[in-house]
Amino acid sequence: MERVKRNDTVKVISGKDAGRTGRVVRVYPKDERVMVEGVNRITKHDKVRATRRGGREGGITKVEAPIHLSNVMPIDPSCGQPTRTGTRLIDGKRVRYCRRCDSEF
């Protein structure tokens, strides 16, 4: 079971965006990375090209990039603070719980 899942609210604990919170948009388990909304925005240069209608598309855009899983900490919905997570076996299902307040989420 993963420590962080999609749609979890997380807090960035290290790096250039330390202290910011956001929602997990995507998880890359093999690479141990997560994409967090509004965090780790990079500048991407796209080649300017003409569209079918004669407009121009491309230029400089800001895009979110994945950050390492160790740099984020999930926020428990019940106590509202960043916490370490653990797993328990309840009725044959693994459930995550907050190590701070001992509530399941």
**Residue 80: per-residue pLDDT:** 92
Q: Which of 4, 1, 85 is nearest to 67 (CA)?
A: 4
Name the β-bridge partners of 26: 35
Compute the distance between CA of residue 54 and CA of residue 72 in angstroms, rounded to an integer: 44
Compute the distance between CA of residue 104 and CA of residue 74 in angstroms, rounded to an integer: 13
Ordered structural domains, the chain, with CATH: 1-74 (2.30.30.30), 76-105 (no CATH)
What is the pTM assigned to this prediction? 0.82
Q: Is the pLDDT of residue 1 over 70?
A: no
**Residue 57: per-residue pLDDT:** 82
Q: What average pLDDT does the segment 15-37 reach?
A: 96
